[in-house]
Amino acid sequence: MKKILIAIFIITTNAAFGQLIVNNQDLNKTVKNFELHLAIKPFTSKQCLYIDYGQDGFRESNYDLNEKQSIYDSTGNKFVKGDYMKLYNYLTAIGWEKDSQRESSLGDVKISIILFKRKD
């Protein structure tokens, strides 16, 4: 029983203090909100993921090709195309909540833009 309680404590502690890394910045420490862009390119059903938090060099047309716009968790694992639910669950576990959502497009690419705010 003691081992189970310790394991639960470690898991919840890591989740509460997890990091969200974009462009070598821990967004948990630097911003209060950001936009998660989900772009669906033609001929694919997987969503490209990228975050706009007001960083220099953000280009909506780069999708997930630009390494500066790649999203990483606290262990250095990159969220790749199609990992939206995995990323969403990670964000809610580390203290972010979905605030609003809007649709946009860039040529023939459909983009869902979701605003996340840090829970207070």
Q: What is the pLDDT along the chain (120 residues), one digit of tens a residue?
A: 555 544 444 444 444 457 998 888 899 999 999 999 998 877 888 888 889 888 877 766 665 556 777 899 999 999 988 999 999 999 999 999 999 999 998 888 889 999 999 987
How many residues does this entry show for the chain? 120
pTM of the full structure:
0.78
Residue 119 CA to residue 92 CA, distance in Å, equals 9
Residue 10 CA to residue 85 CA, distance in Å, equals 23
- Residue showing tokens 């090709």: 65
Q: Which residues are bridge partners to 2 per DSSP?
A: none
pLDDT per position as a tens digit, 78-109: 998 899 999 999 999 999 999 999 999 888 88
Other CB atoms within 10 Å distance of the CB of residue 20: 27
Per-domain residue ranges of the chain:
2-118
Phi then psi dihedrals of residue 9, to 5 deg = -60, -45
